Structure 1
Amino acid sequence: MPGSVTRRTTAGRPRGTPLLLTAVLGLMATAVSPAAAAEADDVIVLPGARSAEGIALGEGSTFYASDLFRGDVFRGDLEARTAELFIDAPEGAMAAGMAVHHGHGLLFVAGGFTGVVSVYDTRSGATVATVRLTPPSPPDAVPLTTVINEVAVTPDGAWITDSRRAELFFLPIGHDGELGEPRALPLTGPAAKTTDEFNLNGIVATRDGGTLIVAHSAHGALYTVDPETGASAAVEGVSVPTVGGLVLHGRDLWAVQNADRVTQVRLSRDLASGSVVEVITDEDFQTPATATRYDGLLAVVNAKFDTGIPPTADRYEVVLVDD
C-alpha cells in the first residue's frame, strides 16, 4: 500500500498504534439508558448497545449510530461527547450503514440481511417508510443472499449497496420529501466482479450526485460509478484491503479499513486516481467499520467483529480522531 503508517493525535492527545490479531470482514440490538457522557474526550460510548456498525452526521454536531444486530439507532452530540438510544427498532430488524438527507430530515438505515432500507424522521425518530429492496437472506444461507450495507444521499435520492449483488439500489426523493419507488442499477466494469465474500460496501457521492464512489471489500479497491449507466472504473493507485465505510469531502476521501485503520486518499480532479495522504491508526480502534466527519474530526464506529459475528464485546463506542 502506498504511504506510511503515521502516529496520530486523537482528539488532542497522543495515541499509540494498535496491533489487532485478526483482520475481520466487518461490513457490517437494548435497554433504554439516559444520555451517557464518554469516559474520555475521544470516546463516546453507545449506552446499552449490543453491536455497532453505521454512523451519519445530522444537523450541527448531532450524529446517529446504529446497533447492527438489533436494528436500534442512537443519537448523540459530537461536541458534548454524549449518546442515547433514539430509535428502539422492532425485533428482527438490523441497522448497518446510514446517511441523512438534510433537506428533508430523513435518516436512511441499511437493513443488512433483512433486505430492506428503513427511513426515519431525524427529529422525532418516527418511521417514515420501510422499503423492500431484496428478499431477506435466509438464516442458514451460506453465503448470504443479501446484505443491504451502506447508503449515500444525493439531492434527489439515496443510493444503497448490497454486498452480495453487482448492482446498486436507488430510492428517489421528491421535492416535497416523498419517497418514490426503488430501482436497481446493474453495474458493469470491475465493480461488478463479485466473490463469495463481501463485495460492494461503502458508498459516497459527489456534491451534485453526478459520480458515485464505491468500496469493494473483497477487492480492497475503490471504484467510480456512473449513476446513469452503471459503468464503473477503478480509482487507480489506491489499495485499501478490508475497506468498509467511506467519507468524502471535496477531493479528500477517508476509507475505513476493518483491520485497524482509516486511510486518507487525495483524489485526482477527474476521480480516476488517488494517492494516500495518511494512514490513521489509534489504540482505541477495534475493527472500525464506518465514519463521519465533523469540524476537523473523524468519528469512527468500532464494530468489534474480532470478538465474533455477532460480536460479544461488553460495550460499543464511537472513537474521535483528528482528520
Structure 2
Amino acid sequence: MQRSFARRSLFGAAAAVGGAAFVGPLGGTAVAAGSARRRWPARFPLPDGFRPEGITIGSEPYAYLGSMASGDVYRANLATGRGRVVVQGLGPEHPVAGLKIDAWGRLFLCGGASGEIRVADLRTGRITKSFTVGTDLTLVNDVFLTPDAAWFTDSFEPQLYKLPLGRRGEPADRVVTVPLSGDWVQGAVITGNGITATPDGRALLVVNDFADGGSLMRVNPRTGVARKVDIGPVLLPNGDGLLLLGRLLYVVQQRQNAIDVLRLDDAGTRGTAVTRITDPEHFRVPTTAAVHGDRIYLPNARFDVEAPTPETDYDVVSVERVRA
C-alpha cells in the first residue's frame, strides 16, 4: 500500500538573500530591518559565469546551487559565504535548473532543456541515476520531494514527472509521467514552473505562468487534475520557485525582482496576499528560494543579461522570513 501523501516532510526548499529588503503589503512597501544578531553574510558571491537557477538547503547550514552553464553543483557555507563544487557537471548540454536535497545526502537535479532527471550522491559527488523524460520540447524545471516521490515540472509540456522513492528515499528505476488536466492551460512559452505541496500535504501546488495571466494550480497527485487556486487579484506571470513555510507560500517573481507572500488555507484551495518583498539594490532576477533559520536565500540568475559570459558575476542574497 502506498504511504500517505499527507505524511510529508520538506527535505529542501529555495531561498533569497539581500541586505535591507523592502517588505510591505502588495501594492505598497515597508522597510524590513535586518537582524542585528545575524553575523553570517546576507549576500555572498558565486563563481563567475556560474549561471545559477536552483537552490536547496538541508538540515545543515549549506546551500547547494546548480549551474545552467556546466551542470556543476556548488556548495556554499552560509556562515562564511565560501564554497566549492561538490558535483562535477557533464557540460553545457547537461545543465542543472531546480534541485532538492534529501535527508540521506542525495541531490535530485532538474536537467532543464536536456530533458534529464539526475540523482547525485553527495558523499561521492557522483551521478547515481539518470533518466531522460518528455519530448524534444521538454524543459525539466523544478523539483519537490514528498516521502513517496520526487516530483518534477516540465515548463513546455502539460505534465509532471514522478520518480517513486523507497522507505529511505532510494529512487526507483523508472519515472512515471503524470499528464495535467482540469484547469491547466498550456501556453507556447514557459508555463509550469515552481512546485511544492499544499499545507495539509494532500496535493501539489504548481505555478502556471500562462493561465489567466499567471496562476497557482492545485494538482491531485494521483490523477493530475489541476484546479486554479483562488488567490484574489494576485497574478503570477513571472512565478518561479515556491517555498512553503507553514501556511505561508513564498512565490519568487523573478523578472519583477520580488517575492509575493500568500497565506493559504490548509487544503491549498485559497490564498490571500500577505506582503511583497523587494530589494532593488540586491535583487537581480532571483529565481528560487530556500530557508535556513530566519533567513530566506535566493540565487540571482540575472536572466536580464542577454549574453552571459564566463566573466559574468553572480551571487546569492537573503531576506528575513515573514512573521505573520
Q: Give the length in aligned residue pairs.
A: 287
Name the CA distance, whole Å, in 2 between partners of 1:171 and 1:291: 22
SS of the equivalent of 2:282 reads coil
Can you list the C-alpha shifts for 1:197-242, whole angstroms capped at 9, x where unaligned?
1000000124775210001122321111110111111111242221
Cα distance in structure 1, aligned partners of 2:200 and 2:164? 15
Give the aligned partner of residue 273 of structure 2: 276
Deviates more, 1:169-178 or 1:112-121: 169-178
Contact kept? 2:41, 2:78, Cα under 8 Å: no
Structure 1 position 188, deviation (Å): 1.1
Matched residues in 1 for 2:181 and 2:301: separation? 31
| Conserved? CA contact 1:118–1:127, under 8 Å | yes
The amino acid that maps onto 1:59 is S
**Equivalent residues in 2 for 1:80-99 (5 A)?**
80-91=80-91, 92-99=93-100
Is contact 2:52-2:299 (8 Å) kept?
A: yes
2:252 corresponds, among 256, 279, 283, to 256
* Secondary structure of the corresponding residue to residue 118 of structure 1: strand
1:221-275 CA-partner distances (Å, limit 9, x unpaired)? 1111110111111111242221111001111100000121011110022211111
Percentage of matched positions with identical amino acids: 33
State how far apart, in whole Å, the 2-side matches of 1:202 and 1:275 are: 19
Runs of 5+ unmatched residues, structure 1: 14-39, 138-144
Aligned to 2:5: none
- Paired letter, 1:233: R
Report the Cα offset of residue 133 of structure 1.
Answer: 1.4
Shift of 1:11: 4.5
Q: SS state of the match for residue 52, structure 2?
A: coil
Q: Is the 8 A contact 2:41 2:79 kept in 1?
A: no
208, 216, 224: which one aligns with 2:218:
224
Which shifted more, 122-131 or 300-309?
Answer: 122-131
Q: Is 1:243 matched up with 2:239?
A: yes
Amino acid at match of 1:269: D
Which residue number in structure 2 is paired with residue 64 of structure 1?
64
For 1:131, the equivalent position in structure 2 comes to 131
CA distance 1:63–1:300, change in 2 (3 Å): same
> Which of the residues 22, 27, 42 maps onto 1:4?
27
* 2:100/2:109 contact within 8 Å kept: yes
> Which residue does 2:19 correspond to in 1?
none
**Paired position in structure 2 for 1:172:** 164
CA change 1:309–1:293 in 2 (3 A) is: farther
Paired with 2:198 and 2:266, the residues of 1 have a C-alpha distance of 12
The Cα offsets for residues 78-123 of structure 1, whole Å up to 9 and x where unpaired, read as 2333322222212221000111122x32111100000011111133
Q: Unpaired segments of 5 or more residues in structure 2?
A: 1-24
Per the alignment, do residues 280 and 207 of structure 1 end up closer, same or farther by CA in structure 2, a change over 3 Å counting? closer
Query: What code does the residue aligned with 1:4 have?
Result: G
- Cα drift, residue 4 of structure 1: 2.7
For residues 35-85 of structure 1, the C-alpha deviation after alignment (integer angstroms, 9 at most, x for no partner) is xxxxx9221211244311000112321110111121111111223333222
Q: Give the aligned CA root-mean-square deviation in angstroms.
A: 2.2
Structure 2 equivalent of residue 290 of structure 1: 288
The answer on whether the counterparts of 2:51 and 2:69 sit within 8 Å (CA) in structure 1 is yes
* Contact in 2 for aligned 1:46/1:84 (Cα 8 Å): no
Q: TM-score scaled to structure 2, two decimals?
A: 0.83
Residue in structure 1 matched with residue 10 of structure 2 by the alignment:
none
TM-score, scaled to structure 1: 0.83
| CA-CA distance at 1:276 after TM superposition | 1.1
Matched AA of 1:97:
G
Cα deviation per residue 1:110-157 (whole Å; 9 max; x = unaligned)?
A: 00000011111133322111111134x4xxxxxxx1110000000011
